[in-house]
Structure 1
Amino acid sequence: MSKPKRVGILTSGGDCGGLNAVTRAVVRRARDYDIEIYGIKDSTQGLMNRPVDAELLDIKKVSGILRYGGTILGTINKGNPFAFPMPDGSLVDRSDEVIEGYKQLGLDALIVVGGDGSLAILRKLAQKGNLNLVAVPKTIDNDLGATEYSVGFNTAVDVAVEALDRLTYTAISHSRVMILEVMGRDAGHIAVSAGIAGGAHVILIPEIPYSMEKICKTLSERRDRGINFSTMVVAEAVKTETGEAVKYTNSLGQSLYGGIAQYLGDQISTSTGIETRVTTLGHVQRGSKPSALDRVLGAAFGVSAVDLIAQEKFDHMVAWQNRHIVAVPIMEAISQYRAVETDGGLIKTAIGLGTYVGEIDRVTAAS
């Protein structure tokens, strides 16, 4: 093929801080290769719309967006084109419409910024339609194994730390236990990092089982030593002590994590008599303006994604490894899941600080 001259970019899945930094970097770097960048609205939905919902992005359109939260392109985390939900409740394969939208725009390649689910769907589309694809990792959960950091994670941690700082003041004022429930899907990366940075006394993650008795003992001993407050951070996917996931069903029929902090709070207040309050941070972690690190990471990923297209190195994802930007095959990237390493440095740090992080011995025994 001739050198790429027209490239699309879309953001897919949940929003987060740093997405606009990627878009801005892509547009700015593309000038060096004389490549036009088309911003596709609302992920694959924009390619299904007729006419295709996309616009040519120039320097003026991306000026100033580096510090914006969310994504100027819009995004969706539902509506798989291979099983698209219709008003009558049926599921229809609309993948050909997405492929046709790519062709109608006359694209030579597509940059997708997304997590493992989005990348799996877009790669399937690329394979079916012979589309040239380059990926940028984006997830606040930071669970893509091929990259040490994904866009959005650091911002989510910063928001959680700020929340924990604020809760600590009111915990001291009222002699309470404050429990903060954070996002993270099935991984505890946000909880561990925020818990250490925010000085939490208990950190619970789905990778490590816990003992309710030990939690209550930890909090009661602090009270008995004359320390009138305690803080906890719990990841949303932590289960009850009996192994049950705590979920709720929203208006769309989706089963989502949420409520483990309230379960723990009720158990603690009943067992210890300590007044306990619960805060579920939720989507506040997604909506913040990006941290400095996510702006840098987004910029580096955006530049590198365009470089891969100029090199015609498709079906790859840019990744951060050992302080370098590298390219890994998309299939390899999405097949590697990265949970919190229970014998890793952050868990050892938390334990060294005297933080209760669960029953590590039970993890060792299970393995």
Structure 2
Amino acid sequence: DGFEHLMRGETDHVQRLTITDVSRIHVLGGSILFTSRANPTIRDERAEDPDWRMRNTVRALKELAIDALLTIGGDDTAFSAQRVAEAAGGAIKVAHVPKTIDNDLPLPRGVSTFGFQTARHVGVELVNNLMTDAITTKRWFFVLAMGRSAGHLAVRIGKAAGVTLTVIAEEFPPDRPIKLMHLVDLIDAAMLKRVAHGRPFGVVVLSEGIALRMDEADLKKAMPDVERDEHGHIRLGELDLDGVLADLVRERFSDRGQKVTITPKNIGYELRCAPPIPFDIEYTRDLGYGAIDYLRTLLREGGDEVGAMITIQEEHMVPLPFGSFNDPKTGRPRVREVNIDSGMYRVATEYMLRLEQEDLDDPEKLKAIADAARMTPDEFRERYGYVVTARAPAGAA
């Protein structure tokens, strides 16, 4: 259960693993040790000892005679691992293994976090089914994919499945919030272009992290009951971004006197505990072996190094010392966002159907899309032209 019991100073929630326990778990999803969002780094300013959570955690580990700790998880767990290592003052060596389907830990470009490739694989299978259903029933699906701080999962699912449009937070200018109506216009314009092509159906994939970048007033108005977890994050799993956008785009079509069927679909939790694909099976064996080898080396050689995040680079284990991958502004692990200037993203967008500048410049194309919107070309350009020019500038992500 993660740090949940250790934070309370409890030492009786211990499971000794045997060969029988672990010999076949590499082909299973989920975790035999379970998980928790419990956060030992949170300070309790109302308590006599504001750092009681961290103090209890370190004391409990020492009582259990733990001198080496292996943590598995994303950026929050990586930060907790670093803080535990620091609080233990070198008495407990810590190795963190990067596991998150968000793929947003600051690993070298091209190196994924474990679990990401499996989540993408399952997501593509699900979205392929939705694509077939969309074609068969002449409807639209708005699919919400996990990705709190980065749109990797949405982009890679959308690219592999060949969806109509994928929208991620990184494509918007980073210096201002995302307006809800901007999202509606972006999606509506792409759908109208699709209608102009004689294909009034498709799939739009949305990254859930868009909600974190949305204008606060828009977010509260559209989704007033916003909850937060133990790390202070908005519970994105509780937000209905796909449903809200489906309602607004549906209303837009209705205002034009047009019929459209839009089905929102959140595919978040279906991806998290799927049995791993061979890539992740092999990858986690490399990471696990590397983590144990690293911890043994620290215990054997001593020194000031207290811990690191384990990475595999060019088929070799490379530990990244705690602190070396932190954002200097926050002191937390840097977020690896989708690089919108990369070849990967450029190819992804080339296969999408988006309103482009050439659609506005070509009179024939513009008229076809404007007709689909029941507008004149000038009206359409004035209404939707900004979605072409409002993208993030080169180098912004």
2:317 paired with 1:325? yes
Partner of 2:162: helix, strand, or coil? coil
TM-score, normalised to structure 1's length? 0.79
Distance 1:221 1:199, change over 3 A: same
Q: What does residue 40 of structure 2 align with?
A: 80
Q: Distance in 1 between matches of 2:128 and 2:53?
A: 47
Q: Is the 2:189–2:354 contact (alpha carbons within 8 Å) kept by the matching residues of 1?
A: no
Q: What does residue 3 of structure 2 align with?
A: 44
Q: Distance in 2 between matches of 1:107 and 1:185?
A: 33
Q: Which amino acid in the other structure matches residue 226 of structure 1?
A: G
Distance 1:161 1:132, change over 3 A: same
Distance 1:321 1:310, change over 3 A: same
Q: What does residue 77 of structure 2 align with?
A: 118
Q: Distance in 2 between matches of 1:297 and 1:85?
A: 41
Q: What does residue 4 of structure 1 align with?
A: none
Instruction: After superposing the two structures, state which structure 1 stretch, 286-295 or 212-221, moved more.
Output: 212-221
Q: What does residue 296 of structure 2 align with?
A: 310
Q: What does residue 343 of structure 1 align with?
A: 341
Report the alpha carbon displacement of residue 166 of structure 1 after superposing the two structures with TM: 1.6
2:149 paired with 1:191? no
Q: Is the 2:145–2:205 contact (alpha carbons within 8 Å) kept by the matching residues of 1?
A: yes
Q: Distance in 2 between matches of 1:145 and 1:81?
A: 20
Q: Is the 2:144–2:206 contact (alpha carbons within 8 Å) kept by the matching residues of 1?
A: yes
Report the alpha carbon displacement of residue 220 of structure 1 after superposing the two structures with TM: 2.1
Q: What does residue 68 of structure 1 align with?
A: 28
Q: What does residue 238 of structure 1 align with?
A: 210
Which one has the bigger strand percentage?
1
Distance 1:281 1:177, change over 3 A: same
Q: Which amino acid in the other structure matches residue 122 of structure 1?
A: A
- 1:69-218 to structure 2, matched below 5 A, reads 69-80=29-40, 82-83=42-43, 93-130=52-89, 131-147=92-108, 148-209=111-172, 212-218=184-190
Q: Which amino acid in the other structure matches residue 105 of structure 2?
A: L
TM-score, normalised to structure 2's length? 0.73
Q: What does residue 301 of structure 1 align with?
A: 287
Partner of 2:4: helix, strand, or coil? helix
Q: Distance in 1 between matches of 2:162 and 2:394?
A: 28
Q: Distance in 1 between matches of 2:275 and 2:44?
A: 31
Q: Is the 1:319–1:328 contact (alpha carbons within 8 Å) kept by the matching residues of 2?
A: yes
Larger-Rg structure? 2
Report the alpha carbon displacement of residue 97 of structure 1 after superposing the two structures with TM: 2.0
Distance 1:366 1:114, change over 3 A: closer
Report the alpha carbon displacement of residue 225 of structure 1 after superposing the two structures with TM: 2.5
Distance 1:203 1:195, change over 3 A: same
CA displacement, residues 154-189 of structure 1 (integer Å, 9 cap, x when unaligned): 122122212211211221222111110011102100
Instruction: After superposing the two structures, state which structure 1 stretch, 278-287 or 179-188, moved more.
Output: 278-287
Unaligned runs of 5+ in 1: 1-41
- Aligned alpha-carbon RMSD (Å): 3.0
Partner of 2:204: helix, strand, or coil? strand
Q: What does residue 364 of structure 1 align with?
A: 393
Q: What does residue 53 of structure 1 align with?
A: 13
Identical-pair percentage: 25
Unaligned runs of 5+ in 2: 173-181, 299-304, 327-332, 356-386
Q: Distance in 1 between matches of 2:27 and 2:185?
A: 45
Q: Distance in 2 between matches of 1:54 and 1:279?
A: 39
Report the alpha carbon displacement of residue 262 of structure 1 after superposing the two structures with TM: 1.7
Q: Distance in 2 between matches of 1:193 and 1:307?
A: 32
Q: Distance in 2 between matches of 1:189 and 1:183?
A: 9
Distance 1:152 1:359, change over 3 A: farther
Q: Which amino acid in the other structure matches residue 193 of structure 1?
A: R
Report the alpha carbon displacement of residue 233 of structure 1 after superposing the two structures with TM: 0.3
